[in-house]
A and B are shown apart, each in its own frame.
Chain A
Amino acid sequence: MSEDVQAHIKTYMKVGGALAVLTALTVIVSYIDFWGVPFAVFVALVIAATKGSLVVSFFMHLIEEKKMILATLVLTVFFFIVLIFLPLLGHADRHGEYYTLPNANAPTAAPAAGH
């Protein structure tokens, strides 16, 4: 039992370290402009997803969890994806012309966005 926990503790420390490294990485990468915004978004999300799965797998012990819980989470993730993408697709697919109007206060937002 106790050795088991000891082994776990080693993992926790490693995961903690990995998370710190990945945090630094994502910040650094965000300052470098590789191939524009879409690529930056992609990289940031990949790093965040990696960090997230480390937390879920090890801190939350999901990799050793029972299948009842895994099944519930798979279901949740599926609906999560539906929730993210269907409204988006609904907006993307429209009839006729569709213009977005600029923010009414664009001037006030500009100073913040400017630098």
Chain B
Amino acid sequence: MDIPYIVEERADTGLNNVKLGIWLFLASEVMLFGALFSSYVLLRLMAVEWPFGVDVLNVPLGTFNTAVLIGSSVTMVMAYASLKMDDFGRFRMWLAATIGLSLLFMVVKGFEYNHEFDIGNFPWTSTYLAIYFTMTGLHALHIIGGVVVNTYLLFPGSKMWTTNKAQFTNRVEAAGLYWHFVDLVWIFLFPVLYLL
């Protein structure tokens, strides 16, 4: 039994299953982070005092991490483009770079967390820190998820390139869409938590 439209596009929708599926998943993610942003706005407007992120967090490190994540989005889209150009070697290079940048992001994040703990800033210290740790923590879980998927595609999953190029390219595209979304969330988290 074969399920239709795994690779080829259905004529009337112009989509394959994976493409539609990943976008729907991202729609649900929008609502997930949406609820957190909504809570952030509400708690902040209700609060009697609310620190400026600049005063609590390390903005240069945050800026650096933003750049790292944007960079990883570029390498990810390049990995996909390489597959489109049938260049498997380059694909591996770009994907490895994406994973490397993701790990770098996590390391920097680890340092930031560590520093906060050192100076006695914990989730229970203030509502601002509570939402900071919750949102960045959830975002970090998403990064880890992305690293797992990308590592799979880099090593065991890449065997599919020899058996079914089109499907493998689709998978990389889907992983890319997810990855860009994680980047997108950070693009909003960064100013909201660090700069305002």
Q: Range of interface residues on chain B?
A: 35 or more
A60 pairs with B180, CB closer than 8 A: yes
Residues of chain B lying within 8 A (CB to CB) of residue A103? 47-49, 126-127
A75 to B26, CA, bound (A): 13
Instruction: State the majority secondary structure of interface residues on B.
Output: helix
A69 pairs with B125, CB closer than 8 A: no
A19 to B15, CA, bound (A): 29
Instruction: State the majority secondary structure of interface residues on A.
Output: helix
Residues of chain A lying within 8 A (CB to CB) of residue B127? 103
Q: Range of interface residues on chain A?
A: 35 or more
B41 pairs with A27, CB closer than 8 A: no
Over the window 20-49 of chain B, the binary record of Cβ atoms lying under 8 Å from chain A Cβ atoms (1 yes, 0 no) is: 100110010011001101100110011111
Residues of chain B lying within 8 A (CB to CB) of residue A73? 23, 27
| A residues adjacent to B (C-beta < 8 A) | 1-2, 5, 8-9, 12-13, 15-16, 19-20, 23-24, 26-27, 30-31, 37, 40-41, 44-45, 47-48, 51-52, 55-56, 59-60, 66, 68-69, 72-73, 75-77, 79-80, 83-84, 87-88, 91, 100-103, 105-106, 108-109, 112-115
Q: What are 5 residue pairs bridging A and B, where the CB atoms are less than 8 Å apart in the complex?
A: A44-B191, A52-B188, A59-B73, A88-B38, A101-B48
